[in-house]
Amino acid sequence: MNVSFYSEASDEELAALLKSPAEGHRRTAVLTELFSRYIAFMKDMASRMCGTPSDYEDLLHEGMRGFIQAVDCFDPERGKRFFPFMWSCVRNRMTDWLRRKSDPVDADSDEVGSVTQVSPEMSVVVREMIDDALSLLSPLEAKVLLMKYAGYSFEETGDRLSVSRKAAENAAARAQRKLRIYAR
């Protein structure tokens, strides 16, 4: 397969290629393409979330582990988009690391700070609800909304997604309207 195909393929197409039997060099090329699309995003998220500069490398490492988890677990057959799934995997890994660092868990405890641990079953249900809600949104609306909740300003979001600040604001407003209707 042509290397330019990888750069022009959607995230979902690349994820589907990873699920098909592939030669090692093709898998490496696909992973490299996906990783190159999101490494700056993970670096930025780590720098925004870290409390001290010494936490940055550890957070970035956790983000990369979340990225690999997303690549391994993403199912292109479900008709969902890769970015929201990957974003939540990366964000959850980083958040969990910060939570563990700031409030070590007693081995017998079911709680981390004041947050009760969620069962694996409930985690799957919540993830499916989030995926269902995000599937109602256009790719731009989903990216803008997720970036908004990650702490990006509309100006930063517009710059990163190559749209105007106003287009980012409008996409967020449309997304919020759709999700309010979905929640009813």
Q: Residue 71 belongs to what domain range?
A: 1-104+118-134
In a domain, 111, yes or no: no
137-174: pLDDT as tens digits = 888 988 888 788 777 889 988 998 999 999 999 998 99
In the numeric block, which tokens belong to residue 135? 């599937």
Contact 38, 102 (CB under 8 A): no
Half-sphere exposure of 5 (CA within 13 A, CB side): 8
In a domain, 170, yes or no: yes
Number of domains composing the chain: 2
With cut-offs at 50, 70 and 90, classify the pLDDT of residue 106.
very low
Contact 169, 154 (CB under 8 A): yes
Q: In this predicted structure, what is the pLDDT of residue 127?
A: 65
pLDDT: is 108 or 75 the higher one?
75
In a domain, 113, yes or no: no
What average pLDDT does this structure show over 124-149? 76
CATH number at residue 179: 1.10.10
Phi, psi dihedral angles at 112 (to 5 degrees): -120, 110
What distance in Å separates the CA atoms of residue 158 and residue 24, rounded to the nearest whole number? 36
26-49: pLDDT as tens digits = 777 888 888 888 888 888 888 888
Report the length, in residues, of the chain.
184
Same domain, 54 and 144: no
